[in-house]
Amino acid sequence: MIGHGIFVGEIFDIERGGSPRPIQHYLTEDADGIPWIMIGDTTVGGKYIESTRLRIKYEGIRKSREVYPGELLLTNSMSFGRPYILKTYGCIHDGWLALKPKRNDIDLNYAYHALGSSYAMAQFQKQAAGATVKNLNKDIVASTRIPLPPHWRSSGASRRFWIKPIIFMALLQRRPRSMPALFIDLY
């Protein structure tokens, strides 16, 4: 932990997605297929990924990356830096980074807002690789610092007291015109 923040890599294991190729040979309409999570399964400003439109064959798992509910996904190419909380099992392609909590006490809601804040995005933009198309990689994300409340290791009411104002600020940065929705999101 450094200063008033913590490196993302200190609290999350970060893994890049992978794509079985050619993908057309691995796509299936079989209901038993593995959910194939694509950027198109999300909405800009959305928070959760709960379902997918496509599925891949079981053989595609070893050439991809499995992800599970309770993990965060982060876009890493083109529209990089968009976080999502995963509520479904599936596999991800190389346009995603999976952030797997290293500890049981990681607040995914807080991490979602911290990673989606202008503070984190400024760090992503400064370090994004690529001349024409900017990309994130796991090292860039791991070295990104997110703010923590002063008593982040506290429990109970004290912890909630500090986290909610920080989430409020992150939400305010993302959606300044939707103040009433902020309170519904928080409380």
Average pLDDT, integer, range 3-8: 78
Q: Where is mean pLDDT largest: 100-104, 149-153, 172-176?
A: 100-104
For 187, the domain range is 150-187
Residues 93 and 77: their CA atoms lie apart, in Å, by 11
Six-digit token string for 44: 């800009």
Output 182 or 71, whichever has higher pLDDT. 71
Residues in CB range of 184: below 8 A, 6 or more apart: none
Q: What is the pLDDT of residues 56-94, one digit of tens each?
A: 999 999 999 999 999 999 999 878 899 999 999 999 999
Q: What is the pLDDT of residues 114-139, one digit of tens each?
A: 999 999 999 999 988 766 777 899 99
Instruction: Give the distance from CA 11 to its chain's centroid.
Output: 13
Place of tokens 């999300």: 42
Place of tokens 């290791």: 153
Residue from 130, 141, 117, 116 nearest 13 by CA: 141
82 and 124 co-located in one domain: yes
Q: What is the pLDDT of residues 12-60, one digit of tens each?
A: 999 999 999 999 999 999 999 999 999 999 988 899 999 999 999 999 9
172 and 101 co-located in one domain: no
105 and 122 co-located in one domain: yes
Residues in CB range of 120: below 8 A, 6 or more apart: 81, 114, 144, 146
Amino acid at 155: S
154 and 144 co-located in one domain: no
100 and 126 co-located in one domain: yes
pLDDT value, residue 72: 97
Residues in CB range of 3: below 8 A, 6 or more apart: 145
Max Cα–Cα distance, the chain, nearest Å: 53
**pTM given for the model:** 0.78
The tally of domains found in the chain comes to: 2
